[in-house]
Amino acid sequence: MIACPFNYGNYRSDINLLICRPEGKLTTDQMNDVAICRECIERKGLFQVNRFHDLSAITSIDLRFEEVRQICKTEEKFRKSGPPIKACYLVPNDLLYGTIRMYKALIEDRGVKVYVSHDLGELADALGVDKSDLMP
């Protein structure tokens, strides 16, 4: 069992997937835990597990480019060995879409294949799971 610091995440061992549903304002601290899944990855050693992030309940963003860049540098330390993982982000609006695309541009050559979409089915296909597995 994991203990998400924000109480947003859980690990589905049946499909080997971290699922995170943050809400409220997306801050640097929150994005750091959402992107890196500190509790899941660092403390539980789930370094090679794909991730699904449902950002539908995010209401605002307080995150700058330099902060996103630093998050990517931190995550890169986890990805020194092993195959890339998939990180899928369901976004409700263009602002979040752009923010995650910025993260994608900075992290993809560091061991994380990022998918961002408004379409849950598209992300389920990318993860190789049933769409119902990603629903709350």
Domain membership of residue 115 (yes or no) is yes
Domain membership of residue 114 (yes or no) is yes
Boundaries of domain holding 116:
9-134
Number of domains comprising the chain: 1
Domain membership of residue 1 (yes or no) is no
The Cα 136–Cα 133 span in angstroms is 8
How far lies 103's CA from each of 39, 52, 65, 97, 115, in Å? 20, 15, 9, 10, 11
Element (H, E) at 25: strand 23-27
Domain membership of residue 2 (yes or no) is no
CA 14 to chain centre: 19
CATH assignment at residue 113: 3.30.750
- What does the pLDDT look like over 13-56, one tens digit per residue? 899 888 989 888 888 777 776 666 665 666 666 667 889 999 99
For residue 28, what pLDDT is reported?
A: 78
- What does the pLDDT look like over 49-98, one tens digit per residue? 889 999 999 998 888 888 888 888 877 776 666 678 899 999 999 999 99
Domain membership of residue 4 (yes or no) is no
Domain membership of residue 47 (yes or no) is yes
- pTM for the full model? 0.87
**Two tokens, residue 33:** 């835990």
Amino acid in position 37: C
